[in-house]
Structure 1
Amino acid sequence: MVSQFTDNFDRSFYYLRLSITDVCNFRCTYCLPDGYKPQGVTNKSFLSLDEIRRVTRAFAAAGTEKVRLTGGEPSLRRDFTDIIAAVRENSAIRQLAVTTNGYRLARDVASWREAGLTALNVSIDSLDARQFHAITGQDKFHQVMAGIDAAFDAGFSKVKVNTVLMRDVNHHSLQTFLDWIRDRPIQLRFIELMETGEGGDLFRNHHVSGEVIRDQLLQQGWVRQLRGRSDGPAQVFCHPDYAGEIGLIMPYEKNFCASCNRLRVSAVGKLHLCLFGDGGVSLRDLLQSDDQQAELQARIAASLKTKKQTHFLHQGNTGITQNLSFIGG
């Protein structure tokens, strides 16, 4: 199905990142170093199960074929398994993924798969338990690693692992990560540290370009793969000697935004055209009944005509994103 959601730069949108909470129980140095603090009004409510069902139905009817549930930490919602099942009711959604810190993975991943989850991203920024604790504020390394094993046991054929690339923290650890994925079908994705409103000092101290990793991979015989239309922004590399893959997400690279294929809806029902945009378009008033689908799709389509060609991170403009849990990364 051809996407009905297109912008003025001939980009089509097949991929929805849907945040279902901005609450997180980790305190990662690059995201929530002081722990979770409610944004703005404290009496807000996150999207309900019915609202989630309606918004994903509208996107699917317009050609969206992939949905990623994000947070905060999405598994903190008590109805998380029900949310998975509700999204998977729609057969047009071919891929349903979640990005998680892995806190509840070992306990719940089998039920998530049974409910219809098809893909899994787990955040692990270090393979050293002590450094993992220092980065996340949680001594949960072995628990998260056990969760990845549980995901394979539950039937996932591949797991993606997200690693935020940071100078003097983990950027020298490529070989350690490569050894880990030699016999494991893990796509390890190095994500360049991005500047946010609250993280300017951290960015200046620890940002390093993914080109450093890419150059090393190419020298070692890794080969870049083709990208599918509903894939995320990672440049993915494979090697015949490895069961795993390496992905690089480099938002500061020239033309990064040219292949943008994803839209974001926040946990309070706002459409965000860019992670680093200046505002959001409220959809919530059109999520209250099933008979507002056409109007909902029309509002999303009209909003896309205002989507800019690129982010402005190079100019230090991080938009309204104070931290990466705010919209869902």
Structure 2
Amino acid sequence: MHTAPRTGAPSGAEPRTTAPATTAPRTPAPRTPVPRTTSPRTAAPPPLVDRFGRVHTDLRLSLTDRCNLRCAYCMPAEGLEWLGRAEVLDDDEVLRLVRIAVHRLGVRSVRLTGGEPLLRRGLAALVGRIAALGPELSLTTNGIGLARTAAGLRAAGLDRVNVSLDTLRPERFAALTRRDRIGDVLAGLAAAKAAGLGPVKVNAVPVRGVNDDEIVELTEFAVAHGYRMRFIESMPLDAQGAWDRAAMVTAREVLARLARRYELVPVGRPGSAPAEEWRIAGTDAVVGVIASVTRPFCGGCDRVRLTADGQLRNCLFATGESDLRALLRGGADDAAVEAAWRASVAGKGPGHAIGSEGFVRPDRPMSAIGG
């Protein structure tokens, strides 16, 4: 199992850019209303701020390190050594940490991640409990279980989903993921859209000589189905340590290929979402690029991450973690957990430093950190 030192002041800051000014119009499917609450305090809590003045309002919350795919750029074919059940936060522990984040730290949005979060037992009930605390609530998934869960998750209070899909070719999908499940992913995308979990975003990681010939094809697919396409530069977070910068398709290359097919109009970017986005001229379709390596956006980072075993990371590329699970299980009160959270964020570094001589890869791979 991959672990990292448990420290309160990890180095590095997660890259992030700004959010698009526009979203594709959608008509939400009917759902059972979920009451959204606000903080019981009469005044807003003090911001969760680091030493560079960055305010953190976005929590990435991993619900499991397990996954039902074996994507070649993420993990070996045999998978990894998963966390034991006792090591993973239970639902009450998850809810307590989210409540502290929202009510005491000013977190406004929560993204549920994994591994594959749809593998979490009782997910819809947990989504309902988190949604009742009031944050904007989204989920990143490989889409395999989405066809049977999308409507229930929407009814429970989930707002939107991001679905990973690196290829449209069945044989290539099977080779990349080591599973023949592309039909389930496509059905999951359709179910998410029908349930009103929009804008439905499709995430692809183009790798040179592997799937980079599908950049335009994937975009055409997304446009045709009303999804929002996003391309993500590959990052040195695979379990095998085999990341090769030369195989990474850069944001510049992605945009150059798209420009041969479309006229791209830059979209305004208020806020601090990770994707730079462009509207395809003459349409409402939007395509985005997350250029974590070649266009790092650490200066606007507003994210913190909790792993499935309750370790707080103030950067995706942090080399240390703060053990909130130990505090919870040791009887700490909310004030002590809040203090540890603030101390970790206060120690956040200026940037991830990929490509520099001083860059150190995290001990945990992406699937164990939470995507």
TM superposition score normalised by structure 1 = 0.91
How far, CA to CA, are the matches of 1:3 and 1:140 in structure 2? 46
Which of 106, 117, 120 is equivalent to 1:63?
106
8 Å CA contact retained: 2:75, 2:238: no
- Aligned-residue offset at 1:20: 0.9
How far, CA to CA, are the matches of 1:35 and 1:324 in structure 2? 16
- Look up the match of 1:26: 69
Which of 175, 191, 198 is equivalent to 1:150?
191
**Structure 1 position 221 matched with structure 2 position 263:** yes
Specify the SS of the correspondent of 2:294.
coil
**Structure 1 position 105 matched with structure 2 position 140:** no
8 Å CA contact retained: 2:238, 2:366: no
Which of 73, 88, 92 is equivalent to 1:50?
92
Specify the SS of the correspondent of 2:292.
coil
- Aligned-residue offset at 1:239: 1.7
Partner AA of 1:55 in structure 2: L
Specify the SS of the correspondent of 2:269.
coil
Specify the SS of the correspondent of 1:189.
strand
How far, CA to CA, are the matches of 2:167 and 2:363 in structure 1? 25
- Look up the match of 1:266: 307
**Structure 1 position 159 matched with structure 2 position 200:** yes
Q: Identity of counterpart residues, as a percentage?
A: 34
Which of 119, 122, 126 is equivalent to 2:167?
126
**Structure 1 position 320 matched with structure 2 position 362:** yes
How far, CA to CA, are the matches of 2:77 and 2:353 in structure 1? 26
- Look up the match of 1:13: 56
- Look up the match of 1:241: 282
**Structure 1 position 170 matched with structure 2 position 207:** no
Deviations 1:145-197 (A, max 9, x none): 01111112112342011101211122222221222123332111111111136
> How many aligned residue pairs are there?
325
How far, CA to CA, are the matches of 2:315 and 2:266 in structure 1? 26
Specify the SS of the correspondent of 1:326.
helix
8 Å CA contact retained: 2:76, 2:239: no
- Look up the match of 1:305: 346
Structure 1 alignment gaps of length 5 or more: none
* Residues 26 and 150 of structure 1, relative CA distance in 2, 3 Å threshold: same
* Residues 157 and 202 of structure 1, relative CA distance in 2, 3 Å threshold: closer
TM superposition score normalised by structure 2 = 0.82
Partner AA of 1:285 in structure 2: A
How far, CA to CA, are the matches of 1:124 and 1:254 in structure 2? 23
* Residues 59 and 43 of structure 1, relative CA distance in 2, 3 Å threshold: closer
* Residues 172 and 42 of structure 1, relative CA distance in 2, 3 Å threshold: same
How far, CA to CA, are the matches of 1:68 and 1:134 in structure 2? 28
- Aligned-residue offset at 1:205: 5.4
- Look up the match of 1:136: 177
Deviations 1:92-139 (A, max 9, x none): x1x101111111100111001111000101110001111111111111
8 Å CA contact retained: 2:74, 2:238: no
8 Å CA contact retained: 2:275, 2:290: yes
How far, CA to CA, are the matches of 1:146 and 1:36 in structure 2? 25
- Look up the match of 1:86: 129
- Judge which range, 202-211 or 19-28, deviates more: 202-211
Specify the SS of the correspondent of 2:87.
coil
Partner AA of 2:110 in structure 1: V
Specify the SS of the correspondent of 1:165.
coil
How far, CA to CA, are the matches of 2:310 and 2:170 in structure 1? 36
- Aligned-residue offset at 1:227: 2.8
Partner AA of 1:15 in structure 2: D
RMSD between aligned residues: 2.2
* Residues 77 and 137 of structure 1, relative CA distance in 2, 3 Å threshold: same
- Aligned-residue offset at 1:44: 4.4
Specify the SS of the correspondent of 1:223.
strand
Specify the SS of the correspondent of 1:156.
coil
Specify the SS of the correspondent of 2:334.
helix
* Residues 181 and 201 of structure 1, relative CA distance in 2, 3 Å threshold: same
How far, CA to CA, are the matches of 2:85 and 2:139 in structure 1? 26
